[in-house]
Amino acid sequence: MSNKIKNSSSKRLEIERKFLVKNNAWRKGAKGVIYQQGYLSTDSSRTVRVRLEGKFGKLTIKGKKIGIAGDEFEYDIPLNDTKYLLKKICKQPIISKKRYKVPHGGLVWEVDVFEGENKGLVIAEVELKNAEQKFKMPAWLGKEVTRDRRFRNANLVANPFSKWKDKLTR
């Protein structure tokens, strides 16, 4: 995902594109990790996220996105702190999903299959080196949703997919 430094700050510019997933062709051989994530702040100019990635805790601070890019800082945090923050301090509901890493065209796509309040939503994202980077799109990708704020995980807390009136066309 990024060049993160263990137990230290990892500031970087995150450049990503997001797409709906139109079929299950990506699943062959893919193994997922359960993610639980909550938000301490979902302000439009910054988000502060707590995430349990399998057995590892992370605290992530993201700045406002400009186009498809934004600053990101990520830190390892103790597992017990992660669980406490998710249960007691983060906004509810917690985002639950299973993330799969799927190699394609020299890049690694992250496919998130959401559960709970967001069940039925499947999104693929890819991180790029620069905003103009060209890449080969997998056949299983659907509509691009990079600039649609509804698909940001932080927004899925206040407005979960299960409550959307207009269900998606992939």
Q: What are phi and psi of 103, to 5 degrees?
A: -70, 140
Strands (E), 3-136: 12-21, 32-41, 46-53, 56-63, 69-77, 95-104, 107-114, 122-127
Any idea how long the chain is?
170
Half-sphere exposure of 120 (CA within 13 A, CB side): 12
The residues, ordered by sequence, that sit 6+ positions from 148 with a Cβ below 8 Å of its Cβ are: none
Whether 35 is a known active-site residue: answer no
Please tell me the distance from the alpha carbon of residue 111 to that of residue 167, in angstroms, as a whole number.
19
Q: Which of 35, 39, 75, 100 is catalytic?
A: 39
Active site residues: 39
